[in-house]
């Protein structure tokens, strides 16, 4: 066992619920066979939307859903996905597995899904292979209540009221699959596309520029410098945690050594450096922090499960993934002055999924349980935490064993989320909470015997949230013992 201490202080900041957003692309079994299933599949559905999946996501209060990509967004032509389904054109999904896309899940289906989920839609428009007119008309189709032909078309297609979509991505990964652009070229394109991305009455658009890949700080610099900041609600950032750091051999989702686990966590913790450095560049051009940093793709990316289509990015989800999710969400909470939105990639059956499905079966992954535990931070007042943590050492390298974030909700309850990354040692954390009135502490924990443990369709509840009894109040002092490889959420009231 080793020792840590924390001290907590008040701030005026709020942890935006939109940090807890999700991403669903036309990729593998995410939309098709995930959310949108065969009409003959014997599960409860509305239209072809699977309701057990919807209900599970409602429970964790997902605040937004990003769609239709990803790389798919810059080849997607929205007009193919409206009108009678039998008449919609088919295309080949060239990015993901070369499968036929029948466009049966389009604009109206996505917005019906968001309505069922009770979340805000976040649509990524096509800049790479689409025109300014195409993007402009999509927004008009969605949000205009006028008698224009395009607004009337939405009404003919069954939705008389405007959809009021406000989160709007102007392209995706424009430095790569979204058009192979340079930063300067993209910044100019953004200005052009954004100029015709109109606000309709009652729905000011929150336009989000396609941002940097990982540590491409020049991209952020050029966008902040060349795009008038008031035309941009947010600027995005994409960063994936690769176990090995090597895109050609990323590492297994379920079989890894302590050394590989440690290196994965080193890569995960890089998010702290990325957010800090991108924010510092944004501060130069936007000292009042009006433009949000939107981490709209993050999560662990491993090799796909054996015997699955490699283009489908289907991977299992272990306790390691839960520690990655919890650590990353702590980082975002602690940077909530600048990070106002983020989306985990990618909700169902793709990458670091919350939910896996197999025909009629569905399971909740360890990552799902972290979003369940952490939902208490959504829209809560941010509390700043100073932490003194021991190191976790492997092979002569070290990382902080513990990370933490805290908030106070509207009813006055305080929530502290603590992660112990050390596989072998528990950590005893003590804190004096003098300024805060509290009478009792309770908690929840997610852990398991092995870091490689997963939920399977045979054993779907191997990892689940349990009550935690390792926290004690002694006068003003709170002392907690966090077991190895665990995530603890404390509630003080």
75 catalytically annotated: no
Site residues for ligand AHR, window 72-111 (CB under 6 A)? none
Q: State which residue, 327 or 346, has the beta carbon closest to ligand AHR.
A: 346
Report the nearest approach of ligand AHR to the CB of residue 325 (Å): 16
Angle at 300 between CA 341 and CA 17, to 5 degrees: 20
Helix (DSSP H) and strand (DSSP E) numbers for the chain: 9, 26
Binding mask 13-32 for ligand AHR (x = CB under 6 A): ------------x-------
- What is the DSSP track for 192-245? HHHHTS--BTTB--EEEEEEEETT-HHHHHHHHHHS-GGG-SEEEEEEEE-SSS
d(C-alpha 368, C-alpha 132), whole Å: 38
Residue nearest to ligand AHR (CB): 70
Cβ-contact 433, 452 below 8 angstroms: no
Q: Per rule CB under 6 A, is residue 172 in the interface with ligand AHR?
A: yes
Report the nearest approach of ligand AHR to the CB of residue 114 (Å): 19
User: Of these residues, 101, 140, 173, 343, which one is catalytic?
Assistant: 173
297 catalytically annotated: yes
Report the nearest approach of ligand AHR to the CB of residue 178 (Å): 7
d(C-alpha 118, C-alpha 15), whole Å: 19
Site residues for ligand AHR, window 42-71 (CB under 6 A)? 69-71
* Residue count, binding to ligand AHR (CB under 6 A): 10
Instruction: Give, for 259, the enclosing helix (H) or strand (E).
Output: helix 258-285
Question: In the structure encoding, which two tokens stand for residue 87, read together?
Answer: 């008449």
Question: How many CB atoms are closer than 10 A to CB 88?
Answer: 18
Report the nearest approach of ligand AHR to the CB of residue 128 (Å): 11
Residue 365 Cα distances to 24, 117, 352, 360, angstroms:
16, 19, 9, 16
Question: In the structure encoding, which two tokens stand for residue 5, read together?
Answer: 């201490």
User: Of these residues, 25, 109, 297, 343, which one is catalytic?
Assistant: 297
Report the nearest approach of ligand AHR to the CB of residue 105 (Å): 16
Report the nearest approach of ligand AHR to the CB of residue 148 (Å): 32
Question: In the structure encoding, which two tokens stand for residue 8, read together?
Answer: 């907590």
Task: Of 336, 256, 268, give the one whose Cα is nearest residue 301.
Answer: 268
Q: State which residue, 22 or 403, has the beta carbon closest to ligand AHR.
A: 22
Binding mask 260-279 for ligand AHR (x = CB under 6 A): --------------------
Binding mask 321-360 for ligand AHR (x = CB under 6 A): ------------------------xx----x---------
Q: Per rule CB under 6 A, is residue 297 in the interface with ligand AHR?
A: yes
d(C-alpha 440, C-alpha 437), whole Å: 10
Active-site annotation, residues: 173, 297
Q: Please report, as ranges, the residues that interact with ligand AHR according to CB under 6 A.
A: 25, 69-71, 172-173, 297, 345-346, 351
């Amino acid at each position: 066992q080793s020792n840590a201490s924390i001290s907590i202080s008040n701030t005026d900041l709020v942890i935006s619920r939109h940090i807890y957003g999700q991403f669903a692309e036309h990729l593998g079994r995410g939309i098709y066979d995930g959310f949108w299933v065969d009409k003959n599949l014997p599960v409860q559905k509305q239209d072809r939307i699977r309701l057990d999946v919807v209900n599970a996501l409602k429970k964790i209060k997902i605040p937004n859903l990003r769609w239709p990509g990803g790389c798919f967004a810059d080849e997607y032509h929205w007009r193919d996905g409206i009108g009678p389904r039998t008449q919609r054109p088919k295309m080949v999904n060239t990015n993901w597995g070369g499968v036929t896309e029948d466009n049966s899940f389009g604009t109206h289906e996505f917005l019906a899904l968001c309505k069922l989920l009770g979340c805000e839609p976040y649509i990524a428009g096509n800049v790479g292979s689409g025109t300014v007119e195409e993007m402009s008309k999509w927004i008009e189709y969605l949000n205009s209540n006028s008698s224009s032909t395009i607004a009337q078309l939405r009404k003919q297609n069954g939705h008389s009221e405007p959809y009021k979509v406000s989160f709007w991505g102007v392209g995706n990964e424009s430095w790569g699959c979204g058009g192979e652009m340079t930063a300067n070229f993209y910044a100019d394109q953004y200005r052009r596309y954004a100029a015709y991305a109109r606000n309709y009455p009652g729905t000011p658009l929150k336009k989000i520029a396609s941002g940097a890949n990982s540590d491409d700080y020049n991209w952020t610099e050029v966008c902040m410098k060349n795009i008038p900041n008031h035309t941009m609600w947010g600027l995005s950032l994409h960063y994936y945690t690769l176990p090995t750091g090597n895109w050609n051999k990323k590492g297994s989702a379920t079989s890894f050594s302590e050394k590989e686990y440690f290196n994965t966590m080193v890569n995960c913790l890089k998010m702290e450096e990325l957010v800090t450095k991108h924010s510092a560049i944004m501060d130069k051009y936007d000292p009042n922090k009006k433009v949000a940093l939107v981490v709209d793709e993050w999560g662990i990316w491993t090799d796909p499960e054996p015997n699955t289509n490699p283009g489908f990015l289907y991977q299992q989800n272990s306790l390691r993934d839960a520690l990655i999710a919890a650590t990353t969400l702590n980082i975002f909470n602690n940077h909530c002055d600048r990070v106002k939105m983020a989306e985990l990639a990618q909700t169902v059956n793709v990458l670091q999924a919350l939910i896996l499905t197999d025909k009629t079966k569905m399971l909740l992954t360890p990552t799902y349980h972290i979003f369940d535990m952490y939902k208490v931070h959504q829209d809560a007042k941010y509390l700043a935490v100073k932490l003194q943590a021991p190191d976790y050492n492997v092979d002569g390298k070290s990382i902080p064993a513990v990370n933490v974030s805290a908030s106070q909700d509207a009813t006055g309850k305080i929530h502290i989320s603590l992660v112990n990354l050390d596989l072998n040692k528990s950590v005893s954390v003590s804190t004096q909470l003098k300024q805060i009135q509290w009478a009792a502490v309770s908690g929840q924990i997610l852990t398991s015997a092995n870091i490689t443990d997963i939920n399977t369709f045979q054993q779907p509840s191997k990892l689940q949230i349990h009550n935690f009894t390792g926290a004690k109040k002694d006068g003003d002092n709170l002392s907690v013992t966090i077991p190895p490889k665990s995530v603890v959420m404390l509630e003080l009231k």
